[in-house]
Amino acid sequence: MTILRRLALLPLLVLLVATVTFAVVQAAPGTYADTIDNPRLTPAARTHLKALYGLDQGARGQYFHWLGALAQGDLGRSFLFKQPVADVIATALLPTILLAGTALAMDVILGVLLALISARRPGGWIDRILTILSLGVYGLPSFWLAGLAILLFSLTLGWLPASHMASVGADRWAAGARWLDLVRHLILPASILGIVGAASTARYLRASLLDVRRSHHILAARARGITESRILWVHTLRPALGPLVTLIGLSLPVLVGGSVVIETIFSWPGMGRIMWQAAVARDIPVVMGCTLVGAVAVILGSLVADLLYAWADPRVRPQ
């Protein structure tokens, strides 16, 4: 029931987010017609473009026009990309899901692993080194890490490509080689996102593991003579996963929203980069479209997080 009620609220929440976003975008000075850097665009030509894109209709007129189209399932046409917004988003969604999905998998696997290692002997030297490392990575800006990784792995060692999803000329290769090429291009950006994520995941999970370990049911399990490894894997890990699944659920928006910084640095044609370009160019339809997708993802993500949490911790299961 709770799920249904929350799903019913979804359109209302999305509308609210969309309206606020529209107001914010409208409040930003300048229009698409002003942002294009082309010396041949005379003031008359810019005025002409404003009329063409309906930018001369005032904020309210534009809002209701956009809302009317949305009601018919039309997200409008992008000013900048000269395509229907739905197509722009569809094109950008797949690369983002690929990148963010790979990063999330690395995040979870690496995060759980590090937390388990850390939690084995809390306060031991391994734990202390991992703590320093993960806090360090977590605190570093990702553009800096990305620059460092490019410098080391692409420019100095030449192991991995520094940007894009494919090499120049890859369109002439066989399918197998193209796949391999894609994987090579994926490694650096996904690792940066994944490692930064893993650093925080490990911190959360370590704390959570230590919490659970102090609880009575673990003491009882020990008293019954259950082996340490069974205690860790079965009795400690599952209840400790609670915060982790919340984190995973909440990363759904990132999965479809992408990362502006990483996608721009690595020339990855995803949602984050599209959204950024659209925001700078005042491409209102694309900004709105991306916001809608993001809003739906945030709401669904928190729902998924709650469901997963209930699975991990039976105490919060809805009646």
Partner 1 sequence: MRITTGIKAAFCFILCLALIVSSGCTPPTEDLSDTLVIGVLADIQSWNPYLTETKFSEDLLALVYPSLAVEMSDYHDHPPTFAPALAKSWDLGSDGLGLTFHLRQDLVWNDGQPVTADDVVFTWKAQTSEEVGWYGAYTKDFIDSVEKIDDFTVSFRFSQVYAYRLMDANEGLIIPSHLWGKIPFSDWHSTDWLPHVVGAGPFVPVGHVPQQDIVLGANPSYRLGAPATIDRVVWRIVPDQLSLMTQLLAGEFDFVNSLAPEEAQRVEADPDLQVVDIPHRGYTHICWNTTRPELADPRVRRALGMAINRQTIIDTVYRGYARPSAGPILSTMWAFDDSLEPLPYDPRQASLLLNSAGWNDTDGDGTLEKDGRPLTLELLTNAENHMRQDICMLATRDLRAIGVQATPKTVEWGTFLSRLRDGDFDGAVNRWVEPTQIDLEDVWHTTPEALESSNYGRYSNPEVDRLIEEVADVRDIELQKELYGQIQHLIVADQPYTFLVEGRKLRAISTRVQGSIQNDATPYFNLEAWKLP
**CB of residue 189 vs partner 1: minimum separation in angstroms?**
12
The answer to the question of residue 129 lying near partner 1 (CB under 8 A) is: no
Torsion of CA 203, 204, 206, 208, to 10 degrees: 160
- Contacting partner 1 within 249-288 (CB under 8 A): 264-267, 269, 273-274, 277, 282
Contact call for residues 268 and 208 (beta carbons, < 8 A): no
The answer to the question of residue 196 lying near partner 1 (CB under 8 A) is: no
How is 103-167 classified by DSSP, letter by letter?
Answer: HHHHHHHHHHHHHHHHHHSTTSHHHHHHHHHHHHHHHS-HHHHHHHHIIIIIIIS--S-SSSSS-
Plot region of 258 (φ>0 → left; ψ -120 to 50 → alpha; else → beta) = left
Give 77's strand partners: 84
Residue 46 or residue 222: which is nearer to partner 1 going by CB?
46
- Contacting partner 1 within 198-227 (CB under 8 A): 227
Give the amino acid at 75. L
Q: Which two tokens stand for residue 159?
A: 């192991």
The answer to the question of residue 175 lying near partner 1 (CB under 8 A) is: no
How many residues of this chain bind partner 1 (CB under 8 A)?
72
C-alpha span between 155 and 157 (Å, rounded): 6
Residue 113 or residue 310: which is nearer to partner 1 going by CB?
113
Contact call for residues 244 and 113 (beta carbons, < 8 A): no
Tokens 């992408």 -> residue = 258
**CB of residue 267 vs partner 1: minimum separation in angstroms?**
5
**CB of residue 152 vs partner 1: minimum separation in angstroms?**
13
- Contacting partner 1 within 33-92 (CB under 8 A): 34-49, 52, 77, 80-84, 91-92
C-alpha span between 55 and 46 (Å, rounded): 11
The answer to the question of residue 166 lying near partner 1 (CB under 8 A) is: yes
**CB of residue 286 vs partner 1: minimum separation in angstroms?**
13
Candidates 181, 203, 251, 288: give the one binding partner 1 (CB under 8 A). 181
Stretch of 24-32, 132-140, 240-248, 296-304 contacting partner 1, by CB under 8 A: 24-32
The answer to the question of residue 105 lying near partner 1 (CB under 8 A) is: no
- Contacting partner 1 within 225-244 (CB under 8 A): 227-230, 232-233
